[in-house]
Amino acid sequence: MKAWPSPEIPSLPGTAGSLTLFDTGRQAARPTTPGPTARMYVCGITPYDATHMGHAFTYVTFDLIHRFWRDAGLDVHYVQNVTDIDDPLLERAVETGQDWRAIADRETALFREDMEALRVLPPRDYIGAVESIPSVAAYVQDLQARGSVYAVEGDLYFRVRQDPSFGAVSHLSDDEMVRIFRERGGDPDRPGKEDPLDCLVWQSARPDEPAWNTSLGHGRPGWHIECTAIALDHLGMGFDVQGGGSDLVFPHHEMCASEAHVLMQETPFAGHYVHSGMVAWQGHKMSKSRGNLVFVSELRRNGVSPAAIRLALLAHHYRSDWSWTPQGLDGAQQRLALWTRAAQADHGTDVATTLSKVRAALADDLRTPEVLDVMDDWAMAQQSGGGTDAQSPKTFAAIADALLGVSLN
Ligand code: 5CA
Ligand code: ZN
């Protein structure tokens, strides 16, 4: 699929060090150790509705990682999927009388516009589930050849326990796994399953549902194996970061990892499993299924600057759960005005310490609230005058742009 155009990234003096991120798998913050090309896979949208602030928070979080690595002089191979066939799309199609493909195309197009407006760096590979079906079918056959698949009424299930490290991403008890699996699209209670946690890798064709002819017969893929296949095809095993919101820790990222471990007979699937917190609105996690949403596109239509939206998101550490509020957006707009004034000055105080503090706070598990404080300090000092350096206001703007994706123009 086509991604979206990349914004320019200004270059900054000096270079960043290494990036430490909290790894859900190890339950600890650890340095990332990319080679000259850092490899990151982030789970993309299921395009049945517009981009909301929860999505924006997640993609801006991983954009900070992307930007940090670029600042460190690395090439970044970033892969993202689009779940352009799944139950929610088909349900929305029935509810609205539209074709599921038209919904997916429209909402994916809107997502691209939102990402471009938010200055999120595009993935190098932007891959749809539908276009990956032949690859998924081949991986399911590999799993079959390893004796890791069985059929229930024509649907194919992966034996999760074939991976000795199953559970090592989420660290949940069996009871918790079953409960969460049931909540998040799994089918632990289906009769005929060997283990309640075994996951669907191929669903045979249902009447009135789309299906594809493959080596596995007529049907469509299960969800997890799509991301496993896309990540393996484009990044291979042992890539640096597997990312998404914390609602994907279990079952999604656990299942993806186990499928890959069994397929490739090696570990790990990813070096770090990184998860952003959930954004709520009106007391509940923002979700398309609940319908309590604040859309990026709606704010943009109402004239809110994307830079202010980004600053509203960056005011929260990426691992915290938080609520979107109008006050948060007001605060971000004031901050944007402060920074913009400061960046427009003819001269200012030295910005080198600001840059090294910003890099250090980002390097330590993306401590963005501290980054904003450091930037505020420089901008406020600027208001009270002083400083003779003609370059520093421009460098300040370049820091905001290159590392935070906030354009002060
Ligand atoms: N297509 C799958 C991933 S393969 C999916 O989860 N799609 S999604 O549209 O539901 O979510 C897209 C991304 O946004 C996921 O990484 C998800 O974890 C994240 N996300 C969804 N809702 C929120 C929220 N309220 N707060 C933060 N992140 C969220
Ligand atoms: Zn995914």
CATH architecture for segment(s) 304-404? Up-down Bundle (1.20)
User: 313 CA to middle of ligand 2, Å?
Assistant: 22
Predicted confidence at residue 290, as pLDDT, reads 82
Predicted confidence at residue 382, as pLDDT, reads 87
Predicted confidence at residue 288, as pLDDT, reads 74
- Is 57 close to ligand 1, i.e. is its CB under 6 Å away? yes
Let me know if the fold of 20-285 is the same as that of 304-404: no
Q: What is the 3-state secondary structure (H, E, C) of the chain?
A: CCCCCCCCCCCCCCCCCCCEEEECCCCEEEECCCCCEEEEEECCCCCCCCCEHHHHHHHHHHHHHHHHHHHCCCEEEEEEEECCCCHHHHHHHHHHCCCHHHHHHHHHHHHHHHHHHCCCCCCCEEEECHHHHHHHHHHHHHHHHCCCEEEECCEEEECHHHCCCCCCCCCCCHHHHHHHHHHCCCCCCCCCCCCCCCEEEEEECCCCCCCEEECCEEEEECHHHHHHHHHHHHCCCCEEEEEEEHHHHHHHHHHHHHHHHHHHCCCCCEEEEEEECCEEECCEECCCCCCCCCEHHHHHHCCCCHHHHHHHHHCCCCCCCEECCHHHHHHHHHHHHHHHHHHHCCCECCCHHHHHHHHHHHHECCCHHHHHHHHHHHHHHHHCCCCCECCHHHHHHHHHHHHHCCCCC
User: 46 CA to middle of ligand 1, Å?
Assistant: 8
Q: Which atom of ligand 1 is the closest one to the Cα of 223? A: 4
Mean pLDDT (10-residue bins), the chain, 409 residues: 97 94 98 98 96 97 98 98 96 96 98 98 98 98 98 98 98 98 96 98 96 97 98 98 98 98 98 98 84 93 97 98 96 98 92 97 98 97 84 97 97
Q: Which atom of ligand 1 is the closest one to the Cα of 81? A: 4
Predicted confidence at residue 287, as pLDDT, reads 81
Predicted confidence at residue 161, as pLDDT, reads 98
The number of the ligand nearest the C-alpha atom of 294 reads: 1
pTM: 0.98
What does the domain layout of the chain look like in residue ranges? 20-285, 304-404
Predicted confidence at residue 285, as pLDDT, reads 87
Query: To test the ligand 1 pocket, which listed residue (40, 41, 55, 86) has its Cβ within 8 A of the most ligand atoms?
Result: 55
Predicted confidence at residue 156, as pLDDT, reads 98
Please check whether the domain covering 20-285 is classified as CATH 3.30.1330.40. Answer: no
The number of the ligand nearest the C-alpha atom of 253 reads: 2
Q: Which atom of ligand 1 is the closest one to the Cα of 275? A: 18
- Is 229 close to ligand 1, i.e. is its CB under 6 Å away? no
Predicted confidence at residue 286, as pLDDT, reads 85
Predicted confidence at residue 120, as pLDDT, reads 98
